[in-house]
Structure 1
Amino acid sequence: MEATRILATKRKVLKRRLKFLTSPIVEYVKKDRSRVRTSYTDFLNRLDIEENTILYEAYHGKSITGNAYAIFKKISEDAEFNHFKHVWVINDTENKIMTTLKNTSKNVEFVSVDSKGYLKYLATAKYLINDTSFPYYFVKRKEQIYINTWHGTPLKTLGIDIKQRSFAGHKNIQRNLLHTDYLVSPNEFTYKKLLKSHDIYEIFSGVVADIGYPRVDLTLEQDSMQVKESLGIEKHKKVVLYAPTWRGTVGKEEDTTVSLLDEVKMVQDTLGESYHVLLKSHYFTYQYFVKNGLENLCVPDDFDSNMLLAAVDILITDYSSIFFELLPLQKSVIFYMHDFDQYDSERGFYIPTDELPGPVAYTRQELLSLVKQHENLKEKYQNNYNAFTDKYCYNDDGQATQRLIDIVFKGKSSDKLIRTESPKEKLLFYGGGFYNNGITVSLTNLFDYIDYDKYEVILIDNDNAHRDKWRNMEKLNKNVHILFRPGAFNRTIKETYWHELVMRRGAHTEFVRKNIQVSAYQREFKRVIGNTNIDVAIDFGGYNKFWTLIFAFADVKKKCIFLHNDMMEEYNKKIDGKYKHKHNLKVIFSLYQYFDKIVSVAKSTNDQNKVSLKDYVKDVEKKMVYVDNVIHSDRINQQKNEKEIIERNGLEYLILKDNQETNNELLDIYGVLKPDHKNVNFINVGRLSPEKGQKELLHAFAKVNKKYANTRLYIVGEGPLRKDLMLLIKELQLEHVVILTGQLSNPFVLLNNCDCFVLSSQYEGQGLVLMEAMVVGKPVIGTDVTGVRSVLEGGYGKLVKYDIDNIAFGLEEFILEGIESRRFDYDLYNNQALELFYKEVTLNS
Structure 2
Amino acid sequence: MAKIITPRVKKVLKRKLNRKYEFQYLKFLKKPIEKNTILIESTHGRDFSGHVFYMAKQLQEQFSEMSIVVGIKNDKREELEKLFQKHNLHSLKIVDYLSKEYILALATAEYLVNDTTFWDFFNKRPEQTYINIWHGTPLKCLGKDMALDGFGNVQKNFLSADLFVLSNEYTKEKMVTGYNLENISSTKVVVGPSPRNSILFDVKRRQQMRSELNVDDKKVYLYMPTYRDTGTSTAVIEETLAYIDEQLTQNECLFVKLHPFDAEKLTMDLSEFKHIAEYPDGIETYEFLTAVDTLITDYSSIMYDFSCTDRQIILYTYDKEDYYKSRGLYEDVDEYPFAQVETKEELYQEMLYPKMQDINDLTLFKNRFVASDNVNGTKQLLDYVFKNKVNENIIEYSLRNEKENVVFFAGGLWDNGISRAFFNTLNSIDLSEKNYILYVKDRAVKKEHKYKLQELEIPYVLSAGIAQYNFIEGILTYLYLNKEWFGRSIGKKWIEKIIFKMYRRDFRRMFNGLEINQFIHYTGFERSLAAMLSALSGSNIKTSIFYHTDMFEEYEAKRNISMKTLKRTYELVDQLIIVNKELEVRLLENYPNLNNVIVLDNFLGYQEIRELSRESIFTSFLGVPLQYGYAEEIVNDVMGDFNKLKKNNIKAANKFLPTIRKHKLSTKGLFPYVEEHFEELNQGINMPFTGLIDHSSLVKINYNELGYLYGVSKLKLMDDLLNPEIKVFINIGRFDIQKGHDRLIDAFVEINKEYPNTRLVIVAPHGPLKKKTIQQVRNSGVKECITILGGMDNPYSLLRLADAFVFTSLYEGLGLVVFEALAVGTDVITVDIPATTEGIIRGSSIDNPAAVIVENSLEGIIDGWKNYLSDTPVLPPYDFDTQESESLSAWHKIVNEK
Q: TM-score, normalised by structure 2?
A: 0.83
SS in 2 for 1:787: helix
Q: Which letter does structure 2 place at the counterpart of 1:147? A: I
Which deviates further from its counterpart, 667-676 or 54-63? Answer: 667-676
Which deviates further from its counterpart, 272-281 or 119-128? Answer: 272-281
Amino-acid identity (%): 27
Q: CA RMSD in A?
A: 3.2
2:828 pairs with 1:780: yes
Query: Of the candidates 411, 432, 439, which is equivalent to residue 432 of structure 1?
Result: 411
Is the Cα contact below 8 Å between 2:317 and 2:340 reproduced in 1? yes
- Offset of residue 270 of structure 1: 3.3
Aligned residue number for residue 207 of structure 2: 225
Rate the CA distance shift 1:542–1:261 in 2: closer, same or farther, 3 A.
Answer: same
Query: Of the candidates 310, 324, 327, which is equivalent to residue 347 of structure 1?
Result: 327
SS in 1 for 2:569: helix
Which deviates further from its counterpart, 348-357 or 257-266? Answer: 257-266
Rate the CA distance shift 1:817–1:447 in 2: closer, same or farther, 3 A.
Answer: same
Report the Cα distance in structure 2 between the residues aligned to 1:732 and 1:281, rounded to whole angstroms. Answer: 66
Report the Cα distance in structure 2 between the residues aligned to 1:124 and 1:149, rounded to whole angstroms. Answer: 20
SS in 2 for 1:338: coil
Report the Cα distance in structure 1 between the residues aligned to 2:10 and 2:758, rounded to whole angstroms. Answer: 63
Residues 170-193 of structure 1: CA deviation (Å, up to 9, x unaligned): 222112111111111111111111
SS in 1 for 2:75: coil
Which deviates further from its counterpart, 681-690 or 466-475? Answer: 466-475
Alignment of 1:83-102 (within 5 A): 83-101=66-84
Is the Cα contact below 8 Å between 1:427 and 1:538 reproduced in 2? yes
Report the Cα distance in structure 2 between the residues aligned to 1:463 and 1:790, rounded to whole angstroms. Answer: 38
Aligned residue number for residue 748 of structure 1: 796
Report the Cα distance in structure 2 between the residues aligned to 1:632 and 1:123, rounded to whole angstroms. Answer: 52
Q: Which letter does structure 1 place at the counterpart of 2:56? A: F
- Offset of residue 290 of structure 1: 12
Query: Of the candidates 579, 603, 628, which is equivalent to residue 601 of structure 1?
Result: 579
Rate the CA distance shift 1:484–1:412 in 2: closer, same or farther, 3 A.
Answer: same
Rate the CA distance shift 1:56–1:294 in 2: closer, same or farther, 3 A.
Answer: farther
Is the Cα contact below 8 Å between 1:539 and 1:548 reproduced in 2? yes
Is the Cα contact below 8 Å between 1:111 and 1:118 reproduced in 2? yes
Alignment of 1:384-783 (within 5 A): 384-413=361-390, 416-465=395-444, 467=446, 470-471=449-450, 473-474=452-453, 476-477=455-456, 479-505=457-483, 507-509=487-489, 511-516=491-496, 517-554=499-536, 557-573=541-557, 579-582=558-561, 584-614=562-592, 618=593, 620-631=594-605, 633-644=607-618, 650-651=670-671, 669=710, 671=714, 672-673=716-717, 674-675=720-721, 676-718=723-765, 719-783=767-831
Residues 57-85 of structure 1: CA deviation (Å, up to 9, x unaligned): 1222222211111111111112x433533
SS in 2 for 1:127: strand
SS in 1 for 2:782: coil
- Offset of residue 691 of structure 1: 2.1
Rate the CA distance shift 1:135–1:449 in 2: closer, same or farther, 3 A.
Answer: same
SS in 2 for 1:644: helix
Which deviates further from its counterpart, 23-32 or 47-56? Answer: 23-32
Report the Cα distance in structure 2 between the residues aligned to 1:608 and 1:825, rounded to whole angstroms. Answer: 26
Which deviates further from its counterpart, 281-290 or 364-373? Answer: 281-290
Is the Cα contact below 8 Å between 1:459 and 1:480 reproduced in 2? yes
Is the Cα contact below 8 Å between 1:752 and 1:776 reproduced in 2? yes
- Offset of residue 207 of structure 1: 0.7
Q: Which letter does structure 1 place at the counterpart of 2:252? A: Y
Is the Cα contact below 8 Å between 1:183 and 1:208 reproduced in 2? yes
Aligned residue number for residue 353 of structure 2: 373
2:173 pairs with 1:195: no
Rate the CA distance shift 1:360–1:105 in 2: closer, same or farther, 3 A.
Answer: closer
Report the Cα distance in structure 2 between the residues aligned to 1:678 and 1:367, rounded to whole angstroms. Answer: 72
Is the Cα contact below 8 Å between 2:190 and 2:395 reproduced in 1? yes
SS in 2 for 1:773: helix
- Offset of residue 681 of structure 1: 2.5
- Offset of residue 572 of structure 1: 0.5
Aligned residue number for residue 33 of structure 1: 18
Query: Of the candidates 134, 152, 168, which is equivalent to residue 171 of structure 1?
Result: 152
Report the Cα distance in structure 1 between the residues aligned to 2:217 and 2:100, rounded to whole angstroms. Answer: 49
Rate the CA distance shift 1:691–1:63 in 2: closer, same or farther, 3 A.
Answer: closer
Aligned residue number for residue 315 of structure 1: 295
Residues 449-473 of structure 1: CA deviation (Å, up to 9, x unaligned): 3322222222222223564564453
- Offset of residue 769 of structure 1: 0.4
Rate the CA distance shift 1:117–1:443 in 2: closer, same or farther, 3 A.
Answer: same
Residues 489-527 of structure 1: CA deviation (Å, up to 9, x unaligned): 221112212212312336533623333332321222222
- Offset of residue 759 of structure 1: 0.9
Is the Cα contact below 8 Å between 1:759 and 1:770 reproduced in 2? yes
Q: Which letter does structure 1 place at the counterpart of 2:762? A: I
Is the Cα contact below 8 Å between 2:599 and 2:890 reproduced in 1? no
Q: Which runs of 5+ in 2 are unaligned?
A: 620-664, 686-704
Rate the CA distance shift 1:475–1:261 in 2: closer, same or farther, 3 A.
Answer: closer
- Offset of residue 789 of structure 1: 1.4
Aligned residue number for residue 3 of structure 1: none
Report the Cα distance in structure 2 between the residues aligned to 1:725 and 1:90, rounded to whole angstroms. Answer: 55
2:259 pairs with 1:282: yes
Q: Which runs of 5+ in 1 are unaligned?
A: 1-13, 574-578
Rate the CA distance shift 1:822–1:91 in 2: closer, same or farther, 3 A.
Answer: farther
Rate the CA distance shift 1:702–1:92 in 2: closer, same or farther, 3 A.
Answer: closer
Is the Cα contact below 8 Å between 1:286 and 1:298 reproduced in 2? no
- Offset of residue 388 of structure 1: 0.6
Is the Cα contact below 8 Å between 1:66 and 1:215 reproduced in 2? yes
Is the Cα contact below 8 Å between 1:29 and 1:35 reproduced in 2? no
Report the Cα distance in structure 2 between the residues aligned to 1:637 and 1:552, rounded to whole angstroms. Answer: 40
- Offset of residue 345 of structure 1: 1.3
- Offset of residue 531 of structure 1: 0.5
Query: Of the candidates 260, 280, 303, which is equivalent to residue 237 of structure 2?
Result: 260
Is the Cα contact below 8 Å between 1:434 and 1:472 reproduced in 2? no
SS in 2 for 1:223: helix
Q: Which letter does structure 1 place at the counterpart of 2:727? A: V
Report the Cα distance in structure 1 between the residues aligned to 2:878 and 2:72, rounded to whole angstroms. Answer: 64
Q: Which letter does structure 1 place at the counterpart of 2:864? A: G
Is the Cα contact below 8 Å between 2:582 and 2:835 reproduced in 1? yes
Query: Of the candidates 795, 810, 835, which is equivalent to residue 864 of structure 2?
Result: 810
Which deviates further from its counterpart, 316-325 or 268-277? Answer: 268-277
Q: Which letter does structure 2 place at the counterpart of 1:536? A: Q
Rate the CA distance shift 1:519–1:401 in 2: closer, same or farther, 3 A.
Answer: farther
Report the Cα distance in structure 1 between the residues aligned to 2:574 and 2:862, rounded to whole angstroms. Answer: 43
- Offset of residue 556 of structure 1: 5.1
Rate the CA distance shift 1:632–1:71 in 2: closer, same or farther, 3 A.
Answer: farther
Residues 337-393 of structure 1: CA deviation (Å, up to 9, x unaligned): 11111111122222222321212112223222222221x333xx3222111111112
- Offset of residue 827 of structure 1: 4.5
Rate the CA distance shift 1:469–1:459 in 2: closer, same or farther, 3 A.
Answer: farther
Q: TM-score, normalised by structure 1?
A: 0.88
